[in-house]
Amino acid sequence: MKRAVVTALTSLALAAPASAQGFSPQELEQRAIHRRAIEAVIWGMPAVNYDLMFQAALKAGAKENQVVYWSNFLDWKNQTLTPNPSTIYLMPFLNMKDTGPMVVEIPPAQGGSITGTIFDAWQVALEDAGPAGADKGKGGKYLILPPGYGGTVPDGYIVLRSGTNMAGALLRSNVGGSSAADVAKAVAYGKQIKLYPLSSAANPPQTAFVDVISVEFDSTIPYDTRFFESLDRFVQREPWLERDKAMIDQLRSVGIEQGKPFSPSADTRKLLDQAAVEAHALLDQGYEDLFSPYYPGGQWALPLAHELTEGLSDNFSKTGVYPTDTRGVFFSMAFSSVKHLGTGQFYLVSLRDRTGQPFDGGSSYRLTVPPNVPAELYWSATVYDRATHALIRDQKWPSRGSTTPGLQVNADGSVDLFFGPKPPAGKEANWVPTQAGRGWEVMMRFYGPQKPLFDKTWRLPDVEQTAAE
């Protein structure tokens, strides 16, 4: 009897049309696309972030297996995610599908130094480079192997295995001062980096460097159908990783499938646009949720979850942990990862003033940086647009720090920094402009971080709102 009842109920459930559940077949399909598109944005963020950087490089005139670089400190035309305007950037974009293994050669730290990381196209850190990396400042040849490579690996290389055909590096040539000569020296040192196929190691071709200092280089995340167009480019280029195969059907639902063109209908595009906006809201809320105070009762934070920093450094090898949510949050506001966080650089971010109010681009603020900053190389404070995480457009400069020309230092060695639409009288060298009507965030960078930063015996006070002058 019981079996007959179960069979009857099952038959009724199977026979019930979708409309009996409150949704038509069309509505169910639309809801599935919307739901899965949101998850695709969160999961695919690091891949899209990488692709957008690569597309910006192509638009600027670079090609695969060349090094994009900025021949001076960055200004607002660099519309990448939270860049450092106090260093010289060099970015190799590798594609090993046709060339096979590629070599990134880092020069010895003599007359300059590199701080940076080599990563796969998911921005998983393969290894750090320079004095804080595997070569320990002695220089080294980093050999990046493509997926499934089974050839001979010669001696004398620091061997890195990539799970993707494309890979990259974010390399910073550290600048010793603020003069034009200091910058030129850092650029010349950075251009000692070499990039070439392993097959040409006996007689390496000259590395191609493409200077993009004068162009608008925009890789900000578009929260609309363009996000999915970028994700499709990535999926068509790269093999599926075992850890991500559960996303194959999810992406097929939104029209992304290997070997097939991405051509959503007008109705689907509308759904994708809506889903991207909702995903953006979720990611932004997740970003704010990561702001656990670094100092008790303060507003500064390191907006990184431990499980994510661990996963990015060991290729998510820990069983039962795959933090795609916090990964999506992180790569919605930053590019690249670090193998050994806190060795070469350390970061603190604030979104709010001392009283807990969000920073307002039309108001004035002051940050007093105490003396004896625990940073062996330099420190800096950079302001970013809160909505895009890029430098605020059309501003005179985005950052002030220990290498800023004419920076005014107080008698006790502290430094007062000012943020607002106008500088206080006589304080322009210590001022970072903001834009009325737009929120902002500030990142403190410490290069060559030292113990007092980590044991918190040196404390960075919160930013305070001041009366406009």
Please give the structure tokens belonging to residue 68.
Answer: 């994009």
Residue 178: what pLDDT? 82
Q: Are 312 and 124 in contact (CB under 8 A)?
A: yes
Q: Are 251 and 235 in contact (CB under 8 A)?
A: yes
pLDDT at 1 over 50: no
pLDDT at 454 over 80: yes
**Where do the domains of the chain lie, and which CATH numbers do they carry?**
23-276 (2.60.40.1610), 288-466 (2.60.120.600)
Q: What is the DSSP track for 120-151?
A: ETT--EEEEESTTSTTTTS-EEEEEEPTT--S
- In angstroms, rounded to a whole number, what is the distance separating the alpha carbons of residues 329 and 96? 28
For residues 414-421, give the mean pLDDT: 98
Condensed to tens digits (0 to 9), the pLDDT of residues 182-215 reads 999 999 999 999 999 999 999 999 999 999 999 9
Please give the structure tokens belonging to residue 415.
Answer: 């430094």
| Angle formed by the axes of helices 225-237 and 266-289, nearest 10° | 90
Going by their DSSP bridges, the two strands 440-449 and 431-433 should be labelled as: unpaired
- In angstroms, rounded to a whole number, what is the distance separating the alpha carbons of residues 101 and 143? 7
**Dihedral of the alpha carbons of 373, 377, 382, 388, in degrees to the nearest 10:** -130
pLDDT at 4 over 50: no
pLDDT at 377 over 70: yes
Which residue has better confidence, 401 or 4?
401
Residue 17: what pLDDT? 54
Q: State the DSSP code for 66.
A: E
Stretch (H or E) spanning 310: helix 306-314
Q: What is the DSSP track for 219-274?
A: -PPP-SHHHHHHHHHHHHHSPPPGGGTTHHHHHHHTT--TTS-----HHHHHHHHH
